[in-house]
Amino acid sequence: SLHHTHLLHSSAPNRGRDRRIGVGISYIPTRVRHVGPRRLTASLVRGHDRYGHFDPEPRPGADFDAEARAAHAEACARFFGSHGSVRTEVAGS
């Protein structure tokens, strides 16, 4: 499905033998910033970041690389540390 990552939704029960895996990706312009208790990370996928509102996420050197796993754990800790007080603002507004 394609929907906003803050949208509550549901699907039928997973009756398979394997777990269900979901991926949430939010594409936002670089002028948007997170306002909360922790500075968050982001990956620039296009263009130039002229605002610097997020710490850049490092590119992994290899699959399941120790540094990449540590960076992922830190990014998750920042995100979940800000959960519950998440909002965004657009620069200049």
Structure-block tokens of residue 61: 């050197």
Sequence ranges of the domains in the chain = 32-90
**Whole-angstrom distance, CA of residue 64 vs CA of residue 70:** 10
Is the predicted pLDDT of residue 27 greater than 70, yes or no? yes
Residue 50 region by backbone torsions, left for phi larger than 0, else alpha for psi between -120 and 50, else beta? alpha
DSSP letter, residue 49: -
- pTM, entire model: 0.68
40 neighbors 88 (Cβ within 8 angstroms): no
Pick the closest to residue 89 from 37, 29, 8 (CA basis).
Answer: 29
Query: 90 or 29: which carries more pLDDT confidence?
Result: 29
Which stretch of 26-35, 41-50, 81-90 has the lowest confidence by average pLDDT?
A: 81-90
